[in-house]
Amino acid sequence: KEAELQQLDDADAFEFIDILNIHPFSFQNDPIVQGKFNDWLLAACKYIVRRCGKPDMPIIATEWGYPSGVKAGASMLLTSGVYPVRIPPVTEEMQDRLMNASLRVFHRYDVGPICLLTKDIPSEEQPNFWAYHCGIYRVDGSKKPSWKTVRRWGNYGNSKH
> Cβ distance 38 to 105 under 8 Å?
yes
* Helices vs. strands in the chain: H and E counts, helices first: 4, 3
Write down the pLDDT at residue 136: 96
Give pLDDT tens digits along the chain (161 positions).
Answer: 567 777 887 888 888 888 999 988 888 889 999 999 999 999 999 998 898 888 999 999 988 899 998 865 556 788 887 777 888 899 999 999 999 999 999 999 999 899 988 999 998 888 889 989 999 999 999 999 999 999 999 865 444 54
